[in-house]
Structure 1
Amino acid sequence: MSEILDLVGIFVFALTGALMGVRKRLDVVGMGVLAEMTALGGGIVRDLILNVRPAAFQSLGYVLVPVAATVIVFYWHPHVARVMPVILVLDAAGLGLFSAVGTAKALEYGLSPLHATVLGVTTAVGGGVIRDVLAGAIPTLLYDRQLYAVPALLGSAVMAGLSTAGLHGWPATLAAAVLAFGLRITAMRRGWRAPVAKGAEDPAA
C-alpha cells in the first residue's frame, strides 16, 4: 500500500515537472528530465544523505512512472492543464505524504528530530527545487508563494514530534500528512504566502 501511495505521489509530481517543461518550451527529453527530477529528486537527496541506496533505484516503477507522466503531458498537455486544480490538490497530498514519510525514514536511521525534520522537508520539496533550477525559475523553497515549503515543514515537524512522543506507524504518518495537506490547501484557497521584507519588490509581479 505504501509503495502505491509513493507511486501516486511520484506521478503527480512528475506531471508538474513535465508541465514546467511545456511552459519553458523544452523538447520531450527536457520534459522527461524535469519530470524525473521533480518526482524523484527529493527522495534521492534524502537517501544519499542517509548513505543508503536511493529507493528510486530499487524499483523499476519509480523510474517508469515519471516517463508515463511525460508521455501523457507531451501528447495531451492542454487537457492536463485544464485539470490543474485537481493536480494541485493531489500535489498537496503528495507534499504532505512525502514530508511525513521522509521524516520517518530519517528517524529510523538515527537522525535527531531536528535533522529528521529538515530531511523530511528536503524529501517533499527537493525535487521541485531541482526542477526550478534546471528550468531557470526561482525555486519555490526560496519564494514560498501560497505556502509550499511551510506545509512541508509543518508535516515534518509534527511527524518528528509524534515520534519523539512514542507514536509511530501509519496513524502518525497519516496525521502529519493530513495537517500538511490541510495547510497547503487552505493557503491555496485563501492566497496565503510567506512574508517578504518590507519594501521589497514582488519577483512575480
Structure 2
Amino acid sequence: MTSQIFPPGVQQALDLIGIFVFALSGGLLAVRKNMDIFGICVLAEATALGGGVLRDLVIGATPVAAFSNLGYFSTPLVAGLVVFFLHPEVERINRAVQTLDAAGLGLFCVTGTIKAHDYGLGSVSSVALGMLTAAGGGVVRDLLAMEPPSLLRWDREIYAVPALVGATVVAVLIATDHLTPLTATAAALTAFVIRILALRYGWRAPRAWHRNGSRTSEE
C-alpha cells in the first residue's frame, strides 16, 4: 500500500487543513445565498468532504473516511461556525483562503490518485478519481446551492485542470516506481502552482471554435 506516503500525524494535519479551507469556501457561498446556519454547515460539509466521499463510494472503501474519522466530519462544522460568526472577516482574507484552497487542491489530487491505485484501479481511472477527490466537493456545493458548477464555467479560472495535471504526475510516478514523499510533494506543488498562476493571470480553458476557425461569440 502506498497511500500513507507521509507520516500519519503529518498526513492527518494536512488533510484537516485542506478540509477546513474547502469548508470555508462552502460556507461563504451559503452566506452569499442567504442560507441559515444549517445551510452553511451543510455546504461546508459538502464542499470539504464531497470529493472524498464520491471517490470512496466508487472504489468501495466503506465506511467512507469522512464518516469513520470524527476529525474529518467535525472540522467542516467548525469552519461553518467560523463563517457564520465571522464571514465579513473571512471575506476580507479571501486571497489567503484561495491560496490555501489551491494547496488543498494539490494535496487531495495526490492522495486521491494514490488511494484509487491502492484499490486496484488503473492509471487512467486513478487520475480521474484523483481529480474527483480534489474538485468533486466544489461540484456538490454548487449543485446544492443551485449554481452552475464553477469548474464547468468558461468565465472562471481553471480549477479541475491543475488537479488533473497533479493526478497525472502521480500516476506516472506510480507506474515508474518513483513515488516517494518527495516526488508526491512535487506533484502536489505542481497542481498548486498551476492553480495560483491561473488565479494570478486569469487562465481559462479554451472554448469551442466554429468550423471556420473563429471562436464562438460570447453570450
TM-score by length of 1: 0.96
* Distance in 1, Cα, partners of 2:60 & 2:179: 23
Q: Does 1:166 align with 2:177?
A: yes
Q: Which residue of 2 aligns with 1:12?
A: 21
Q: CA deviation at 1:169?
A: 3.2
Structure of higher CA gyration radius: 2
Specify the code of the residue in structure 2 equivalent to 1:126.
Answer: G
Structural mapping, 1:35-46, within 5 Å: 35-46=44-55
Indicate if the aligned counterparts of 1:14 and 1:38 stay in contact, CA closer than 8 A.
Answer: yes
Match of 1:121 among 131, 142, 152: 131
Aligned residues: 202
Provide the C-alpha distance between the structure 2 equivalents of 1:98 and 1:80, rounded to a whole number of angstroms: 23
Over the matched positions of the two proteins, sequence identity in percent amounts to 50
5+ residue gaps, structure 2: 1-9, 209-214
8 Å CA contact 1:96–1:178 kept in 2: the answer is: yes
Q: For residues 71-90 of structure 1, what are the structure 2 equivalents within 5 Å?
A: 71-90=81-100
Secondary structure, in 3 states, of the residue corresponding to 1:105? Answer: helix
Give the CA deviation at 1:171: 1.8
Stretches of structure 1 lacking an aligned partner (at least 5 in a row):
none
Partner of 2:161: 150
TM-score of the superposition, structure 2-length normalised? Answer: 0.90
Residue 136 of structure 1 aligns to a residue whose secondary structure is coil
RMSD: 1.0
User: Is 1:50 equivalent to 2:59 in the alignment?
Assistant: yes
Contact residue 151 and residue 158 of structure 2 kept, 8 A: no
Tell me which residue corresponds to 1:190. 201
Show the counterpart of 1:199. Answer: 216
Q: Which runs of 4+ in 1 moved over 6 A?
A: none
- CA offsets per residue over residues 82-138 of structure 1, 9 Å max, x none? 000000000000001000110011111111111000000000000000000011111
SS in structure 1 of the partner of residue 151 of structure 2: coil
Q: Is the 8 A contact 2:47 2:137 kept in 1?
A: yes
